[in-house]
Amino acid sequence: MANKKNDPELPAQNPDQIITTEYSELMQKSYIDYAMSVIISRALPDVRDGLKPVQRRTLYDMEELGIFSDRPYRKSARIVGDTMGKYHPHGDSSIYDSLVVMAQDFKKTMPLVDGHGNFGTIEGDSAAAMRYTEARLQKVTEEAMLSDLDKDVVDFVPNFDETEKEPSVLPCMIPNFLINGSEGIAVGMATSTPTHNAAEAIDAEVALLEDPDITTSELMEYLPGPDFPTGGIVINKSDLKEIYETGAGKIRLRGRVVKEKGKNGHINVVVTQIPYTMIGTGIAKFLSDVAALSENKVTNDIVDISNQSSKEGIRIVIELKRDADADNFINLLYKKTKLEDTFGVNMLAIKDGRPETLSLKQVLSANVDFAYEVTRRKYTTLLADEKKKREIQEGLIKAVNVIDLVIEILRGSHDRAQAKKCLCEGVTDGIRFKTRGAAQMAAELHFTDAQADAILNMRMYRLIGLELDALMKEHEQTVANIYEYEDILERKSSMKSVIRKQLLSFRKKYAVPRKTELTDADEAVYVEKKQEETEVIFVMDRFGYARTLDVSLYEKNRVTLEQENKFVCRVLNTGNVCLFTDAGSMYTVKVQDLPQTKLRDKGKPIDNVSSYDSTKEEIICVMSQSDLNLYRIFFVTKQGLAKIVDGGEFSVKRRQIAATLLTDGDALAAVIPMKGEKSIVLATKNSYFLRMEVEDIPVQKKTARGAKGIALTRDDEVAAAFAVDESRDCRVQFHDREIDLKALRVAKRGTRGSKK
């Protein structure tokens, strides 16, 4: 349902009339209205001044409050409250957040706000509450973005409640959209524009101003690429031309790293600049990622890592071993951490009231066109003011020449209206003149309305000689200004010269050296050191925590470790551990992914280093993958199906495979590596034992279900299996009883066995 009286597109109807409409159409229209409101009024910047509405309103409010660069700071809470009450009724947090960002020199190439107090840090610390911080406008904001607002240079529109007027765009004379960049997420679209060097951006705009047919390649001679406030290195310089031609693409960034001599012959790798994308929590993430490289044994070169960053800049120090290859380690940082990252470019902005992805030339063209419009409107206003001034000046000069007559008119008039009518129209009726000649001269006066008012308001001191000289000089200057302004408005070359002069003035005042290096770098190549192959002991407790131990440590504590852990096996530190589960799966885990610990350390949950899920299946056997290639593997299911599989079938690189095929409702009971044993014993839940020859068990593929190993009663199932080694004692504990496996009689496969 929709009420017609609320829809401006529908004709007026009776307020009580209810009409029926298609729900999908109503929803579509409402969503489009909402989306466009977010896009135009909140999320995307205007290409002309490079500002989102909240930023524009905040800066304009600061200008209205008179918080200029040469005046004292004012509380941020005052600015936020005034902006919210007058122009931006969307909550104080969005206003304060925009104020903070405009004051952060690590996010903006040219901060527009001068913040005083805690405005956050590059490491992600948030700004203090608005009641503690203070702010004022930067000098560049006043001169390049807020000047001449009183000269009708931009349109003013009603605010949200139509009690105030606000500028639809600020009269920005520099390419702020490029200089400070922009990030914002709207509905169905997002903008992400990198920051640029102010001097280079102004040079590019001047070049386009001089030659409207200039190409992107030629513009890039002035503006070669982005310049981030955090510095760093752009390593795909050759891709920038396409990015600037299309307005979209990916910039690859690297932090700047230097090598220094450390203590005792150690090498220090020092990060002095970070990628722009690492601002905030990215620095802490980088530190934890570097620590993880050492913990996970990706590298053994790290001795220590410390963050020594301060107000002077970024300084993250990584101390390496004496024999470490520092260049190879730096490449590792680029490969495995966010020290090399990607900045996605989408130069989306509002142009002519519509969101549009713009090329570099389109952005600069929009700035040039806007500069022409602002300049035209400015000098149109100035010309009108000068013409009004000339009119009054000419009236005063003429009045001084006939001052005696003017005085006589004033003395002979009954009131101001009578005197003014005489001055403007020469009407002398009712005015007392001393002579007829004076009356005749008065009848010939034809001052304009404005001139007459100026004469009537003129003070007597203006008749002093020096004052008359000053009036004449002022008139001469006014005439010169009118000539100059008319020339600017009538000749495009003159207006271009004015804009160019203004742009170069800003460049001279606010130019700073480039921080970001532009180059084409090769892909970072990290050469892994071959790890010395040694044997370690894999242990996993009943809670699923796994780790490796040094062999000598295991030998000293063998009894304790075997009692406390569910699985213990020898593995190579460069190899894999294979986990067989009751669900018929085999999982492989890299030994390098497991922590090598001391005796009482806990280890890592096996779920965290493999695809195994302890909530769905249970591990029943653990083996080294290198051992699998040496042996044949015996499988038996709870329903009594048995087979032997060649271990080579399990030599795979996948993290998870099906180790055997199971029938519905069945599960693996045991997996045993056969090391030359001649017989196997199957034990059931109901204490039936069957000893059978290994030769009777069929050798099958891992995809087979197996053959009948033992005959089971209706409520029975296989509970365990044991390989019988004739060369040693084979006594096992089963159901709290000790069973001598070698004492069991050998029977045929598929029989029930004997009950114990």
Strand ranges across the sheet with 754-755: 718-724, 679-684, 688-693, 754-755
* Token pair listed for 735: 């159901």
Distance CA 175, CA 503 (A): 10
* Token pair listed for 622: 């653990």
Strand partners, 355: 350
Query: Degrees (nearest 5) of the Cα angle 361, 365, 370?
Result: 155
Query: Degrees (nearest 5) of the Cα angle 560, 561, 567?
Result: 140
**Pairing of the two strands 517-518 and 233-234:** parallel
Are 44 and 348 spatial neighbours (Cβ–Cβ below 8 Å)? yes
The identity of residue 252, as a single letter, is R
Distance CA 640, CA 134 (A): 79
> How many Å separate Cα 234 from the centre of its chain?
17
Catalytic residue (choose from 23, 31, 34, 132): 132
Distance CA 86, CA 97 (A): 18
Phi then psi for 114, rounded to 5 degrees? -95, 105
Distance CA 235, CA 226 (A): 12
Q: How many residues does the chain have?
A: 756
How buried is 749 (Cβ within 10 angstroms: 0-12 exposed, 13-18 middle, 19+ buried)?
buried
Distance CA 262, CA 319 (A): 7
CA dihedral 410, 414, 418, 422 (to 10 degrees): -40
Phi then psi for 395, rounded to 5 degrees? -65, -40
Strand partners, 191: 184
Distance CA 706, CA 663 (A): 10
* DSSP for residue 300: S
Distance CA 183, CA 102 (A): 12
Q: Which helix (H) or strand (E) holds 683?
A: strand 679-684
Catalytic annotation present for 96? no
Are 341 and 38 spatial neighbours (Cβ–Cβ below 8 Å)? no
Residue 520: other Cβ atoms inside 10 A:
11
By C-alpha distance, which of 263, 258, 268 is closest to 302? 268
Distance CA 279, CA 181 (A): 15
* Token pair listed for 112: 């527009």
Residue with tokens 């310049």: 227
**Pairing of the two strands 316-320 and 267-273:** antiparallel
Are 320 and 326 spatial neighbours (Cβ–Cβ below 8 Å)? yes
Are 676 and 652 spatial neighbours (Cβ–Cβ below 8 Å)? no
Distance CA 420, CA 412 (A): 12
> How many Å separate Cα 232 from the centre of its chain?
16
Distance CA 48, CA 170 (A): 8
* Token pair listed for 276: 């722009």
By C-alpha distance, which of 639, 632, 530, 535 is closest to 582? 639
| Residues taking part in catalysis | 132
